[in-house]
Structure 1
Amino acid sequence: MDFHIDDTTRELSTLVRTMGEQLVTDDSLRELDARFGPGTEADGGRDHSTARFHARYWDELVRAGVPAALAPESLGGADLGVVGEALVLRELGRVLAPVPLSPAIRAAHLLDLVGGCDPDLAEGIATGRVIAAVADPDSPEVDWAPIAHAYLRPTPEGLIMPAEFDVERTIPVDFSCAGLVTCATVRAERLAEGAAEVDALRRRVHLAAYQWGVIEAALERTAAYASTRHQFGRPIGSFQAVAARLADGSIDVDAVRLSTLRAAFELDACNGEPGAPAHAAVASAHFWACDAGHRLAHTAVHVHGGVGLDRSEPAHRYFLAAKAGEFRLGGATRQLIDLGAVLAENGDPWEYSA
């Protein structure tokens, strides 16, 4: 499969990385932790002031047109595909950016498939001016629900979009913004057949891509620490046991990178009708994101030693983010079960692929 990335997508991901490195600093994340983080759990409901949300970075992403660039063309976007989305989500993961880009993308693509939708709402969500939360059918917890202006729940019967909804805030492993949503029964807007299935697969690719960025940056930071931390008069990175774990981590990051890109390319190629190749690719990407995420999270902590769990240092955030990603993805065993079911029913979907 050709993993060629076009210039527009490459420039967009570079822009997101540059902005993230400038704005989502360790100091800015420490400020968010002080508001809603370890030891300061709040029950603010839908109070934006207590949400772990990097408002400044989100405002800059919106101003730069990043959500719009990933929206469908019918809503004024560039529609860079799932590959473009994955590469941008990777950049968010690298800096642990707490911003609601994934639900903005998912909501825009869902609304693109709904006839007669409020055009102002669709345009607001596509550009990021209206924050959206999109439910996952496999989890009662909805990411970004506490600060969302709009709530969407895709189902096989259609898209549920209540005008009003209540949120009970939850406390995920990484202290991210999430909650349980309740709303009155409302009519479901008609969706194209298979749209809910595509959205579920898109969400899984987004999670894997974010996890890719998390473990990639965690490994880089850990390798840098191992080269400067001295023990017995030598950098600990020169010890064989430490060097071997870092080398294994590099292989794991590559596995997540390749499997995530494969899943994104397969989802783009299915034209809204995902078959065995797309399902197998997504399950494979999820397996690696869970398995590698688990290993890299523990490698980072072990190599950092006590510093890895010190809340005054940034390493612990990468540990929490990687573990949260593993849990949100459902764990490695679940992905192998999904992949096994695809193979048992369809055989090897890539047996004759180039």
Structure 2
Amino acid sequence: MTLLYTEVEEELRASVRDLLADRCGPDAVLRRVESEAPYDMDLWKRLSREIGVAGLLVPEEHGGAGASAREVAVVLEELGRAVAPLPFLTSSVLATKALLAAGGGDLIGELASGETTAALAVSLAASPYRPLPETLTVTDGRTLNGQVRAVAGADVADVLLVPVGTTLYRVAAADVRVETVPSLDLTRPVSTLTFSDVPAEAAGAFDAREVLGFGAGLLASEQLGVAEWCLDTTLAYIKERHQFARPVGSFQAIKHRMADLWLDVVRARAAARNAADLLSADPGTPAEGPAGEKGARDRALAAAVAASWCSEVAVHVAEESVQLHGGIGMTWEHPVHLYLKRAKAAEIALGTPGAHREALATLADLPAPA
């Protein structure tokens, strides 16, 4: 196992970063979140068609890239660095993972091309370690009724993948009432979904722990990208900002704070890369045997470590970035507030740090925190 980025991963990063720099700069993101359509679907189509990010997890026989979680993690890092308002996490990670685990189907190819966007109809705050709330009912195995709150990506989805119990259902988004509600993260809106005698088609089995745990482990890479941008931007600022005829960054107290932040980000990168590497293993790999290191227990352990650590690091680095930018960091025009809001919202997404640490204690066979 190596946590270093491969040449292919670095090429993928460069392609995504260049396109985001051209189309998704801070000013462009601020303009979009002030509009009625925060998601940049034109950019999403370009990323899908020109770089193929939508189909990274999809096998080649279904029209995808046949890549792994490592490549997905690289894309998430770059999207985090840009706080890009794109449905990559919701469609190409969570929904695609759920559909692949359920058996695939013709929808997989449509998601891989980026022509169709999907969303997993679960609350963004759902935990991999607890059963999903039973807020939906199924009649005759083909009609859904009920409501699901705080669903991310539903407002731009063509198809909704709706878990009820251990079964995943496929629903046309046009048949569901989607109401976007206020969200702390302006770049990732959440919606309330209301199902009223909505026709549905069973897509296969659904394992919430597997799908949400996979998403939480990769969300850590997005949080890493948020923290890296905040650290890099703050470092550049304190080199330029002068007080008493000296750069602010030359003051010892600032140096110590920046050194602590750098160490936090380095540790976050190690945790996120470890999770991405282990999650890239075949889900069918046994927990014991020749590939025991890639087993289910090890993947869950790595995901819990990354999710618990990276979420808190992203928030801490973003908070420090706001403070170290001084007065300008408190303004709407400076984009650092978008990163803080993304970090705070992502901290409770797919399990809180405390939930991941509690699960980690069980997975590592250690006493739970008091």
- Band the TM-score falls in, shorter-chain normalisation: 0.7 to 0.9
Please say if 1:99 is aligned against 2:110.
no
Alignment-mate amino acid for residue 108 of structure 1: T
Match of residue 75 from structure 2? 88
- The aligned runs of 1:64-213 (5 Å cut-off) are 64=50, 65-106=52-93, 107-115=95-103, 117=105, 119=106, 121-136=107-122, 139=126, 140-154=149-163, 157-163=166-172, 164-175=175-186, 176-183=188-195, 184=197, 189=202, 191=204, 195-213=207-225
State the distance in 1 between where 2:166 and 2:352 align: 28
Count of matched residue pairs = 330
Q: CA RMSD in A?
A: 2.4
Following superposition, the deviation at residue 188 of structure 1 comes to 6.2
Instruction: State the 1:270 CA deviation.
Output: 5.1
Deviation of 1:279 (Å): 1.3
Q: Of the two structures, which has the highest relative contact order with CA contacts closer than 8 Å and spacing of 6 or more?
A: 2
Q: For 1:145, give the aligned amino acid.
A: A
User: Hey, which of these two has a bigger chunk of helix by percent?
Assistant: 1
* Aligned equivalents of 2:70, 2:115: Cα separation in 1: 23
Deviation at 1:195, TM superposition (A): 4.8
Query: Does structure 1 conserve the Cα–Cα contact (< 8 Å) formed by 2:77 and 2:222?
Result: yes
The aligned counterpart of 1:56 is 42
For each residue in 1:165-215, what CA deviation from the matched residue of structure 2 results, as whole angstroms up to 9, or x when unmatched?
Answer: 2212122211222212122466663535x7543321221123211111011
- 1:276·1:346 contact (CA, 8 Å) conserved in 2? no
Q: Which amino acid aligns with 1:16?
A: V
Q: Which runs of 5+ in 1 are unaligned?
A: 36-49, 348-354
* Aligned partners of 2:166 and 2:207 also within 8 Å: no
Q: Which runs of 5+ in 2 are unaligned?
A: 127-148, 286-294
The TM-score, its normalising length taken from structure 1, stands at 0.85
Q: What residue in structure 2 maps to residue 32 of structure 1?
A: 32
Greater share of residues in strand? 2
Label 1:242 to 1:324 Cα distance change in 2 as closer, same or farther (>3 A).
same
Q: How far apart are residue 3 of structure 1 and its match?
A: 2.2
Distance 1:202 1:25 in 2: 29
In structure 2, C-alpha distance between the alignment counterparts of 1:323 and 1:277, rounded to whole Å:
27
Maintained 8 Å contact 1:218/1:315: yes
Instruction: Please name the residue that 2:130 is paired with.
Output: none
Q: Against the structure 1 CA distance between its residues 231 and 87, is the aligned structure 2 distance closer, same or farther, given a 3 Å change threshold? A: same
Q: Tell me by how many angstroms 1:224 deviates.
A: 0.5
